[in-house]
Amino acid sequence: MATMESLIVTVNRIQRACTVLGDHGGDTNLPTLWEALPSVVVVGGQSSGKSSVLESIVGRDFLPRGSGIVTRRPLVLQLHKTERGLQEYGEFLHLPKKKFTDFSMVRKEIQDETDRMTGKSKQISPVPIHLSIYSPNVVNLTLIDLPGLTKVAVEGQPESIVQDIEIMVRSYVEKPNCIILAITPANQDIATSDAMKLSREVDPTGERTFGVLTKLDLMDKGTNAIDVLEGRAYPLQHPWVGIVNRSQADIKKNVDMIASRRKEREFFASSPDYGHLASKMGSEYLAKVLSKHLESVIRARLPGITSLINKSIEELEAELSHLGRSVAVDAGAQLYTILELCRAFDRIFKEHLDGGRPGGDRIYEVFDHQLPAALRKLPFDRHLSLQNIRKVVSEADGYQPHLIAPEQGYRRLIDGALNCFRGPAEASVDAVHFLLKELVRRSIAETQELKRFPTLQAEIAAAASEALERFREESKKTTLRMVDMESSYLTVDFFRKLPQEVEKGGNPTSSSVDRYAESHFRRIGSNVYSYVGMVSDTLRNTIPKAVVYCQVREAKQSLLDHFYIQLGKKEGKQLAQLLDEDPALMERRQQCVKRLELYKSARDEIDSVLWAR
Ligand SMILES: Nc1nc2c(ncn2[C@@H]2O[C@H](COP(=O)(O)OP(=O)(O)OP(=O)(O)O)[C@@H](O)[C@H]2O)c(=O)[nH]1
């Protein structure tokens, strides 16, 4: 088994890591290690002697003194026993390279650091100050000093401070891992002790509470605290410890700690009331008892802490992978990230077209269904009504009616009919355009990696939509040109193969009469009709080819080409703007990363003591 000492040292290190990485327990919705670590917390009313007890455990004067609420931030005091003969020094976590050998400077630094966080406003703050003291005269122990419980705010302090202090103190003592050092002055009615009241509430069985009676020397003549110290008046699981600290007069006279400890020992040894308890009284004894107890608590909790650490690491890693990697800071890496994201989108878009995902089939539906239906619905019947044929043909003839066949009339009728094909051609282009747009929208929504980057998402959508618009223009030009080409040169063969009316009749006189009869125009109509039908068959096949060539194929091959060119011209700052994540998400990731770092270092710390068995 790892030595007891190394266990406390391990927990000390983890506690410091907690402060460095911002884990003070409390309200963030992150797992907290701080709250799982056992610690000894000093609780008491103002002027109950808390600071005096801490100082005599350490054997040094180093805590701020003054009127009002002096302790306004938790002070995590870690005591490290060093080899005999080595110099004592203090070291703050926020000033890691500075060794304080002058303990009056330690006091000043505690005051200054308190003010740095709370301002001069005398507010309180839950962010702890970490002080390590290295000395041959201490036992390994971690103590947390908290603001004294009070009933009234003093000048310059907000009314809420009374409650704020209680909330802060409670937040520590409520933790099941907290060992409560409840300080009560013996010259006061214990029934009114703030420390005992609070500890009773949070630890009714007294398992976690060490009762400490201070100011035994100040009790009225003829009275003593034997009933309390022997555990009868206020029974706790652990024995009560009586203490005699320096009086105000001693402090003024600069009585040092060594002398004061000696005085305390003498007090108990020579006391008629407490002499029989002398070996179990005093601040040195208290320090040893606490250290031993803290070690055993840590040992008992270690397996629980280890499994908590492993579980939290898993949770944090899962959350981080869900949040995605953090965004790179240099322009090159940012450009790379953007291109990766674009490619991810493009891949999904192509899958939609190629059939890996749904949607591409609807384009075929346009060609197979919508276009033929639109072609069928074209109003050729109206255009080729007998009446219209007669009108168009006569107009084309002018003052000289046609002699054999109405060449001009045919051309005009065919032109008019072919013109109708423009509608379905354009409609096919538009229908495919809207389908492509919809696929872009869906593909963006389906690109998980893009979700974090709303700006880039909008830019890709805009670039894709602009590209699709260009493809649509091109596709319209091409399909309409195909319709125009049909008008510009008619298929000669078709007309050559038509049976000649003149020859059929056999009689020139009767046929010249026929030329203006209804059947003549009907025949013209039916010829034009079947010519237009032939063109319609052709276009039904060629319009899809043009649309796919100009729109679908282009979208697949070069949807974001323009965007890529623009990206290449962008500066670092503009690239960063494209990757501006949701700030809440960035913040969360940062918190998770820090917390994960904490848990991993804690795991390493614990592993190293376990391996040292
Ligand atoms: N005679 C005597 N005086 C004591 C004893 N303990 C504390 N005092 C005096 O009581 C006063 C208050 O002691 P502190 O240790 O400052 O008490 P505290 O609880 O830290 O006070 P705050 O930080 O103001 O809440 C000081 O003047 C001490 O000298 C004791 O056991 N005997």
Examine the pLDDT at 94 and tell me if it is beyond 90.
Answer: no
- Which stretch, 3-12, 81-90, 549-558, has highest mean pLDDT? 549-558
Examine the pLDDT at 41 and tell me if it is beyond 70.
Answer: yes
What is the structure's pLDDT at 90? 92
What burial letters (b/e) apply to 46-58, b meaning 16+ CB within 10 Å?
Answer: bbbbbbbbbbbbb
Span of 37-51, 54-68, 432-446, 450-464 with lowest mean pLDDT: 54-68
pLDDT in tens, 338-385: 999 999 999 999 999 998 888 889 999 999 999 999 999 998 888 888
Nearest CA, atom 3, ligand 1: 247
pLDDT-derived band of residue 429, with 50, 70 and 90 as boundaries?
very high
CA 41 to chain CA centroid, nearest Å: 34
The whole-angstrom separation of Cα 117 and Cα 109 is: 12
pLDDT in tens, 241-300: 999 999 888 888 888 888 888 999 999 999 999 999 999 999 889 988 888 888 888 888
Ligand 1 centroid to 245 CA: how many Å?
7
What is the structure's pLDDT at 12? 74
| For the chain, percent of residues with pLDDT exceeding 90 | 38
Higher confidence at residue 67 or residue 398? 398
Among 41, 43, 48, 52, residue to substitute to test ligand 1 (most atoms within 8 Å of Cβ):
52
Residue 255, phi-psi category: left (phi > 0), alpha (psi -120 to 50), beta (remainder) = beta
- Average pLDDT for 7-17: 74
pLDDT-derived band of residue 513, with 50, 70 and 90 as boundaries?
very low
Query: Which residues does a 6 A CB cutoff place in the pocket of ligand 1?
Result: 44, 46-52, 70-71, 148, 214-215, 217-218, 243-248, 251
CA–CA distances in Å: residue 234 to residues 197, 212, 283: 11, 11, 20
Residue 604, phi-psi category: left (phi > 0), alpha (psi -120 to 50), beta (remainder) = alpha
- ipTM of this complex: 0.97
The whole-angstrom separation of Cα 36 and Cα 540 is: 75
Q: Where in the chain is the domain with CATH 1.20.120.1240?
A: 331-498+515-580
DSSP state of 185: E
Please give the angle made by the CA atoms of 273, 276 and 278, to the nearest 5 degrees.
95
Nearest CA, atom 1, ligand 1: 247
What is the structure's pLDDT at 297? 83
Atom of ligand 1 nearest to the CA of 66: 24
CATH number of 331-498+515-580: 1.20.120.1240
Ligand 1 centroid to 129 CA: how many Å?
22
CATH of region 4-301, choose from 1.10.10.10, 3.30.1280.10, 1.10.10.60, 3.40.50.300: 3.40.50.300
Atom of ligand 1 nearest to the CA of 54: 15
The pTM (predicted TM-score) of the whole model is 0.60
What is the structure's pLDDT at 515? 56
**Residue 179, helix vs strand vs coil:** strand
Q: How buried is residue 74: exposed, middle or buried, by Cβ count under 10 Å (0-12/13-18/19+)?
A: buried
What is the structure's pLDDT at 180? 94
pLDDT in tens, 481-498: 999 999 999 998 888 887
Q: Where in the chain is the domain with CATH 3.40.50.300?
A: 4-301
